[in-house]
Structure 1
Amino acid sequence: MALTRATRRLLIVMLALIGLLLGISAVGSALGLFSRNTGLEVEVDKATRRSITQVVTASGSVQPEVEVTISPDVSGEIVELPVKEGDRVVRGQLLARIRPDFYEAQVQQAEAGVAQARAVMKQREADLIRSEAEYKRQQMLFERNAISASDFDAARSQYEVAKSALEAARHAVASAEAQLREAREQLAKTVIYAPMSGIISKLNVELGERVVGTSQMAGTEMMRIARLEQMEIEVDVNENDVVNISIGDTAAVHIDAYPERTFRGLVTQIANSARIANQGTQEQVTNFPVKVRILGSVALPTATAASGPVVSEEVPTTTELLPPLRPGMSGTVDIYTKTVFDVVAVPIQAVTVRDFNRVRPEGQTAPADTAQNPSVLKEDLRKVVFLVENGKAKMVEVQTGIADDTHIEITAGLAGGETVIIGPYRAVSQTLRPGMPVRIRPPERTPRLMATVQ
């Protein structure tokens, strides 16, 4: 009986060991550990000819292209407010009226001042006429030696004083009239009219509320009038990307409130001054505001994302009417800055950099002093891609152009059709060296490994 139990235990242990060995063999075969080819396993793709559109993506908020802030020029109580938020108004329509009592009194006071100044001027004119007649009489008597020089000088002095007094009175009248015009203008400003046609997009005051005029300080913002049929989105573009954007570039606008729709856009303005956040710190960010006019709603092909880059021709010029867009809505803009056609391109992850003072393509040798002492020269970083030729990695220096989300243009170094190593990332960025043995990972390897792990 004891022997039977020991035998069973031995059989169980043996079966467990056999299962473990079978599992290790399966995993090792899947990973290529037992393959005769001991090269580094890599993922590859082909260098192909295609069209590439460089896209700059940024986020921002929707706003009207034209929006006017209405603030009163004079202070006082609102006694009439015939509009409400959302109303459509036309140019010249009454928007608000401020109590005019104080400004009417100022006009009356200014009118009285003008009348008084004119009366004083009339008196000075009469004084001048009298002084002039006296001066002429004294001059005639002085020429006949009938009066002394001092009497003649006194008459002449009085005449000059009368002329100056009349001139001062005339200036006083002009000053009083100017004050009257100003008072009438202030009275006229108690009535506020619409400076343009549009919609009351924002109303900040109520009937009976007191407002402060802009002549005294910043003033009270009473309301805003906007043309909501002409909307734009203002986005912040990083300083490294803004140099690629030009006025007139087309764009695809995605509004968060309308996830199922794409809007056609056009770059209309690029700021010259930056917005700097966290200035003076390590988190400093420099962005430039860019305004994109929203032209209309379009339906971009759903196959675009899967089939390749979006070129400018794929943004239709015919658009539908805009849905209701409200100021402040958030969205994202894809600005198509440049498109090249029928160029050699490879996946972005295939391009890496190598220090040519440490690693050089086959057939090239480093300088003698560098070979003996690699720290003699500074880094010579160049862009390269690795190809698969005869089971080995071949490093090729390349020059690149623009890129989209998946591919980058190769302007020099490749002719197209080459087998390019695109992964794993660590291998491309660090491990690969010229002449290193490699083996291509089968296309079905990744799904099988994922199924094994699950």
Structure 2
Amino acid sequence: MKKILRYVLIGIGVILVLYAVARVLKTNSKPAVTFDTATATEETITNRVVATGKVIPEDEVLIKPQISGIIESILVEEGDKLKSGDLIAKIKVVPNEQSLVSARGRVSNAQIALNNAKIEYDRNKKLFDKGVVASQDFLSVELQYNQAKQELQNAQNDYQIIRVGSAGGSATANTNIRATVDGTVLEIPVKEGDQVIEANNFNDGTSIATIADMSKMIFEGQVDEAEVDKLEMGMPISINLGAVQDKEFDAKLKFIAPKGVEDQGAVQFTIKADLSLPSDVFIRAGYSANASIILEKKEGVLAIKEALLQFDKETEKPYVEIVTGENEYERRDLELGVSDGINVEILSGITKDDKIKVWNKTEPMDDEKKGDS
């Protein structure tokens, strides 16, 4: 009986061992991981620099007063188109009391001097008419009289300018603020009643209005220091405006700043480009824009996706793995050309017929696997 029980236990042990071996063999019998492949294709690759910025008028003119005072009236609105000489605003002069008193005193002095000169002139005129006074002496007295009249006129003009801002209230009076160029009013930063200061050696003065020719627009943007050395004057640029969809505008690079400005840890260089606008398109000043500058363009070159590239950990040289058999691959070092960030030109290393291993294929998520099952 014990002998039979022993054989039964041995049989059960053998069955368990066989079951375990079968499980191991079944687990290890899963097929090896296979990789997808790709081939090189002929592509047109464009290497470009993208700059962000805005579109602004080429020239903006700040209109400033020639005399200090208070805005009496504003005769235009933002967006109005003006010709040179058009009236923009009027200024009411608030004279300085000390200057006003001084000017009034100068007028009085000039009047006294003129009265004395006239008395002397009248006396010498009578004597000259009788032949008592020589011609040269009379001409000297007449000159002094005329100079006294002119001095009074000058003093009166100065007094009038200090008091009301104009010597005679003509159309060119300092109190009349006029456009100095043809263009569109972009901004009027003041309002009626504001006090304004004239431009002088110590102060830029208060801007009454900003005028610009909206038919001459430029792109102004920033380029990173890593890209600025690749730019050249006259390069063609494509401009995309955020406010104008599905349209590109041509431009030419005309300025590259000689000095960069640090912005959030990166050095940026200002660039400017002349913008070519169709006659039927109106662009507002300050539109945000992106400029695409083509550095290099190659058509019909052998290229692969940049995602297929691998890099040697020590030399950092690029390579790909080429299929040589079933689950067998061979490393091929590559020489690369121009890249657009998606495709890269292949100068040497592979041919159009080589099958390239897609080494970084992503696996489906667990939820996707469950869904497939």
**Structure 1 residue 52 and structure 2 residue 45: aligned?**
yes
State the shift of 1:78 in Å: 2.2
Q: Residue in 1 aligned with 2:320?
A: 385
Q: Residue in 2 aligned with 1:406?
A: 342
One-letter identity of the residue aligned with 1:46: T
**Secondary structure, aligned partner of 1:41:** coil
Deviations along 1:320-352, whole A, 9 cap, x unmatched? 445332222223332222212332221121233
Cα separation, partners in 2 of 1:206 and 1:264, compared to 1, 3 Å = same
State the shift of 1:226 in Å: 1.5
One-letter identity of the residue aligned with 1:382: K
One-letter identity of the residue aligned with 1:328: G
One-letter identity of the residue aligned with 2:30: F
**Secondary structure, aligned partner of 2:312:** strand
Q: Residue in 2 aligned with 1:354?
A: 312
Deviations along 1:196-235, whole A, 9 cap, x unmatched? 2110011111233211233243432222111222223322
C-alpha distance in 2 between matches for 1:41 and 1:70: 74
**Secondary structure, aligned partner of 2:206:** coil
Tell me the matched-pair count.
Answer: 288
Q: Residue in 1 aligned with 2:291?
A: 333
Cα separation, partners in 2 of 1:66 and 1:420, compared to 1, 3 Å = farther
Deviations along 1:236-259, whole A, 9 cap, x unmatched? 222222233333333332222223
The counterpart of 1:227, out of the listed 213, 216, 227, is: 213
One-letter identity of the residue aligned with 2:215: E
C-alpha distance in 2 between matches for 1:286 and 1:342: 36
Q: Residue in 2 aligned with 1:131?
A: none
One-letter identity of the residue aligned with 2:180: P
**Structure 1 residue 194 and structure 2 residue 179: aligned?**
yes
**Secondary structure, aligned partner of 1:241:** helix
8 A contact 1:344–1:414 mirrored in 2: no
One-letter identity of the residue aligned with 1:226: A
State the shift of 1:112 in Å: 5.0
Q: Residue in 2 aligned with 1:214?
A: 199
Cα separation, partners in 2 of 1:239 and 1:322, compared to 1, 3 Å = farther
Cα separation, partners in 2 of 1:265 and 1:380, compared to 1, 3 Å = same
8 A contact 1:43–1:424 mirrored in 2: no
TM-score computed with the length of structure 1 as normaliser: 0.53
State the shift of 1:407 in Å: 0.7
One-letter identity of the residue aligned with 2:339: A
C-alpha distance in 2 between matches for 1:402 and 1:340: 8
More helix by share: 1
C-alpha distance in 2 between matches for 1:450 and 1:265: 52
**Secondary structure, aligned partner of 1:381:** coil
State the Cα RMSD in Å: 4.0
The counterpart of 1:34, out of the listed 15, 21, 30, is: 30
TM-score computed with the length of structure 2 as normaliser: 0.64
State the shift of 1:70 in Å: 2.3
C-alpha distance in 2 between matches for 1:453 and 1:48: 33
Q: Residue in 2 aligned with 1:13?
A: none
The counterpart of 1:204, out of the listed 183, 189, 195, is: 189
C-alpha distance in 1 between matches for 2:275 and 2:38: 39
Q: Residue in 1 aligned with 2:129?
A: none
Q: Residue in 1 aligned with 2:360?
A: 424
Name stretches of at least 5 consecutive residues in structure 2 with no aligned partner.
1-25, 114-150, 167-172
Deviations along 1:69-108, whole A, 9 cap, x unmatched? 22334321123432221110112333333335749x77x9
Which 4+ runs in 1 deviate beyond 6 A?
none
% same residue: 22
**Secondary structure, aligned partner of 1:213:** coil
Cα separation, partners in 2 of 1:100 and 1:404, compared to 1, 3 Å = same
Cα separation, partners in 2 of 1:194 and 1:389, compared to 1, 3 Å = farther
The counterpart of 1:89, out of the listed 78, 82, 86, is: 82
C-alpha distance in 1 between matches for 2:212 and 2:92: 26
Deviations along 1:262-318, whole A, 9 cap, x unmatched? 33333332222223123xxxxx1222222344324xxxxxxxxxxxxxxxxxxxxxx
8 A contact 2:184–2:213 mirrored in 1: yes
8 A contact 1:246–1:337 mirrored in 2: no
Cα separation, partners in 2 of 1:341 and 1:70, compared to 1, 3 Å = same
Q: Residue in 2 aligned with 1:295?
A: 276
Cα separation, partners in 2 of 1:397 and 1:405, compared to 1, 3 Å = same
Name stretches of at least 5 consecutive residues in structure 1 with no aligned partner.
1-24, 120-172, 279-283, 297-319, 356-378, 427-440
Cα separation, partners in 2 of 1:90 and 1:252, compared to 1, 3 Å = same
C-alpha distance in 1 between matches for 2:195 and 2:181: 24
**Secondary structure, aligned partner of 2:34:** strand
**Structure 1 residue 242 and structure 2 residue 228: aligned?**
yes
**Secondary structure, aligned partner of 1:42:** coil
Cα separation, partners in 2 of 1:98 and 1:275, compared to 1, 3 Å = same
Cα separation, partners in 2 of 1:111 and 1:324, compared to 1, 3 Å = farther
Deviations along 1:9-67, whole A, 9 cap, x unmatched? xxxxxxxxxxxxxxxx9xx9xxxx833xx2x5333322233321112223222222222
Deviations along 1:399-446, whole A, 9 cap, x unmatched? 3232124211223434544333344168xxxxxxxxxxxxxx9xxx99
The counterpart of 2:36, out of the listed 27, 38, 43, is: 43
